[in-house]
Amino acid sequence: MSAPAPMPVHTLGRSGVEITGLGFGAAAIGNLFTEVTDEVAQDAVSAAWDAGIRYFDTAPHYGIGLAERRMGAVLSEHPRSAYTLSTKVGRRLEPTPDASGDDLAEGFAVPATHRRVWDFSADGIRRTLEASLERLGVDHVDVVYLHDPDNHAEEAFREGYPALEKLRSEGVVRAIGAGMNQAEMLTRFVKDTDVDVILCAGRYTLLDQRALTELLPAAVERGTSVVIGGAFNSGLLADPRPGVTYNYTAASGEVLERALGMKAVAERHGITLRAAALAYCVAHPAVAGVLVGTRSAAEVRDCAEQFAVSVPEAFWQELRDTGLLSDEAPAR
């Protein structure tokens, strides 16, 4: 098998932390929606490594620790200095020894062995990070994100962010940020704090450009890096068809029609919609990389192949001409 083409590498803000342009997001291997076996999950992480991916992102939330354990098991085969690892804080896991049933109410097909406690306090953040390190089997992570502080803004800005800043000043972590499924509060983090990076999920895609108005321009101005998650909007841009999810719920007829229109344009230009979706995310100068949430080795290899595709300018122009893409959206 030939060696993969070198991945582009970018530095997060002024932190010195480098990530590959394509990163591996671990929600799916935490049994998001459906169960994935240990072997399949670990093969997916191994395939990411073989494809040249060196940025791996996870969180305690993903399968109440399962994704961290699975990812750590595979990455333990490689030198810690050879890859960049991020996890998240804000949801602290507490054991529930008498609980029964599963965690599907939170989206994960795992036994309900723990419950999540929202905790953006300084003590909670340190405890959560220490538990993540134990599950991952490493002595440090490179990046820590405040995870989904949507309904906890006051605590996140008053306690959570200063706690991360202290961890960074102590050298415990090298880069700090926030990860959310919205653009508005992330813009506040960029403007009002000294984060190195923000993780914006599902709000800068071919179907949703809300981050383009304020967040991305603010990031460019401040020198803050952006990592994009949810490039496929939870499935629709990977394979648009009736019944596929859009931002974790059933896609409406209108948004499905738009996705199918984009797919038809892509096919006319000899590319896939997946390739276009990934290329769109990384074209903006604020964006350092894009995370893909894959649950199998085949999906990983496909994403790496699509990421390497050169999307013709004529494709972008046709999207603009037909009103499927904003004129302001940069593309490559």
Position 196 in a domain: yes
User: For the chain, how long is the longest CA-to-CA vector?
Assistant: 59
The two beta strands, 143-147 and 84-89, are: parallel
DSSP state of 214: T
Q: How confident is the model at residue 1 (pLDDT cuts 50, 70, 90)?
A: very low
Give per-residue pLDDT as tens, 173-221.
999 999 999 999 999 999 999 999 999 999 999 999 999 999 999 999 9
27, 93, 116, 243, 252 from 229: Cα distances, Å: 11, 23, 22, 22, 21
| Residue 5 lies inside a defined structural domain of this protein | no
- Name, in order, each residue with C-beta under 8 angstroms of 3's C-beta and a sequence gap of 6 or more: none
Residue 4 lies in a domain: no
The residue range of the domain holding 61 is 10-321
100: number of Cβ within 10 Å: 7
pLDDT digits (tens, 9 = 90+) for 16-27: 999 999 999 999
- Residue pair 216/204 in contact (Cβ under 8 Å)? The answer is yes
- Cα(203)–Cα(219) distance, rounded to whole angstroms? 14
Summarize the confidence of residues 318-331 as an average pLDDT.
87
Quote the pTM value: 0.96
Task: For residues 226 and 206, give the distance between their C-alpha atoms in angstroms, rounded to a whole number.
Answer: 16
Alpha helices in 51-198 (DSSP H): 66-75, 122-136, 153-155, 161-169, 184-192
Separation between Cα atoms, residue 309 and residue 150, nearest integer Å: 35
Kindly report, residue by residue over 97-130, the tens digit of the pLDDT. Answer: 887 899 999 999 999 999 999 999 999 999 999 9
* Residue 329 included in any domain: no
- Using a pLDDT cut of 70, give the percent of the chain over it: 98
Mean pLDDT of 140-147: 98
Q: What is the mean pLDDT of residues 45-67?
A: 98
State the CATH number of the domain containing residue 202. Answer: 3.20.20.100
Is residue 139 classed as helix, strand or coil in its secondary structure? Answer: coil
User: Which residues have CB under 8 Å from 191's CB, separation 6+?
Assistant: 218, 222
Averaged pLDDT, 277-297: 97
Residue 271 is assigned to a structural domain of this protein: yes
Q: What percent of the chain has pLDDT over 90?
A: 92
Asked whether residue 100 is domain-assigned, the answer is yes
Tally of structural domains, the chain: 1
Residue 114 lies inside a defined structural domain of this protein:
yes
Q: What is the pLDDT of residue 4?
A: 63
Q: How much is the pLDDT for 5?
A: 66
Of the candidates 62, 161, 246, 280, the residue annotated as catalytic is 62
145 is catalytic: no
What is the structure's pLDDT at 330? 80
Q: Which pLDDT does position 13 carry in this prediction? A: 97
Could you tell me if residue 330 is inside a domain?
A: no
Q: Can you give the pLDDT at residue 332?
A: 65
